[in-house]
Amino acid sequence: MNMKSKATLKELAIALGVSTSTVSKALSDSPEISEQTKRKIKEFAQLKNYKPNSIAKNLKNQRAYTIGVILPNILNPFFAKVFSGIEQYANEKGYNLITCTSNESLQKEKQMLEMLDNGAIDGFILALAQETQKENNINHLKDVLRGGTPIVLFDRISNELKCDKVIVDDYDSALNATNYLLETGAKKIALCSTIHNLSVGKLREKGYEDALMNKGFVLDTHLMLLTENESDFDASLENVLQEKPDAIFALDEHASVAAMKAVLKRGWQVPNDVALIGFADGLWSRRLTPSLSTVSQHAPEIGQKAAALLIKRIEEEFDPETQRIYVTEVIKTELRKRDSVKKL
């Protein structure tokens, strides 16, 4: 518990191992709570310098109609488009958004959750920061859920968290994209990634590997450039190109663009010498020359679905002491075949 400042209702609930509604009822002398429990909670609240949050108090029997959205990186067009879907759906339902970015930092993600989870927010929508996934540290999210605030995770998720989730079919999309390259005659498909440490990156890698092995190919590690950041990727890309791949499958925005630029710089013809498929934003992919074939993730739909799931949770009548059933929605991707691949 944060001792520097006043304790929140949520912190009291977590420390005492009870729900926020039990703490709230005890502090307002509800007859539903036993005298012994009331006394224990009131003494603990006094000890921890608890002062009721005036906004939360006003909203005791109603909602704040505000959702907290935490994005890992606002410069990534995928997250920007997901946000547009969240905003559209939430506004239609009369909810406001408070939005911030974790900048891929575990510490910043924790700070944002603590700052916003004070009774003035009804729930959170977020994709986990790169550092959070790398270290698999999700205690701060478990604390929020234990306190009774609903969370919906999208794209970068943790299976350990009991909450609703919205994902794309990362494994299937990579399997299908690799199969398409094989069907159009490719035999040396390079795999390029700067997101090796992310859950989505690992699923895409597995799809690529299984597609090749299902067709009897032996995996060639010289054709696989799996890094965790852009600088390492840029430093090693030439090594992969020296293997003279006849196709490249790039798993993220940066890898897609860097691979395309490097191939064209060598004077190779796309798609005749090297075919390319990337996970990238469709708008500028169409503007590249040649236009880049991409796995379209339907980002606004992911945002709309995440907002719908969260608002449903916020508005449902629910006893916090009973077991909830959570859902994982899978949004289907689509392979957009443009000029960077041969046509079947």
Crossing angle, helix 139-146 and helix 9-16, to 10 degrees? 100
Query: Which pair of structure tokens corresponds to residue 26?
Result: 């005890």
Average pLDDT, the chain: 91
Q: Does domain 170-296 have CATH number 2.30.30.40?
A: no
% the chain with pLDDT above 70: 93
- Pick the range with the lowest mean pLDDT from 86-90, 274-278, 316-320: 316-320
> What tens digit of pLDDT does each residue of 165-216 get?
999 999 999 999 999 999 999 999 999 999 999 999 999 999 999 999 999 9
Q: Whats the size of the chain, residue-wise?
A: 344
CATH classification of 63-168+299-332, choosing from 3.40.50.300, 3.40.50.2300, 3.40.50.410, 3.40.50.720? 3.40.50.2300
Whether the full predicted model's pTM is greater than 0.85, yes or no, is no
Would you say residue 123 has pLDDT above 50? yes
Host H or E run for residue 100: strand 96-101
Distance from C-alpha of 284 to C-alpha of 257, rounded to nearest angstrom: 10
Domain boundaries, the chain: 9-52, 63-168+299-332, 170-296
Beta strands in 256-320 (DSSP E): 275-278, 293-296
**Orientation angle between helical segments 35-47 and 20-27, nearest 10 degrees:** 90
User: Does 170-296 match 63-168+299-332 at the fold level?
Assistant: yes
Distance CA 112, CA 104 (A): 12
CA pair distance 334, 35, nearest whole angstrom: 59
- The residue-averaged pLDDT of 69-85 equals 94
Name the DSSP class of 274: -
- For residue 263, how far is the Cα from the chain centroid? 31
Picking from 52-56, 162-166, 215-219, which range would have the lowest pLDDT averaged per residue?
A: 52-56
CB atoms within 10 A of CB 35: 10
CA atoms within 13 A on the CB side of 161: 29
pLDDT in tens, 9-40: 788 888 888 888 788 888 877 778 888 888 89
Residues ≥6 apart with Cβ < 8 Å to 26? 33, 37, 38, 41, 42
> Quick one: pLDDT band at residue 3, thresholds 50, 70, 90?
very low
Is the pLDDT at 302 greater than 60? The verdict is: yes
The dihedral sign for the CA sequence 51, 54, 57, 63: negative
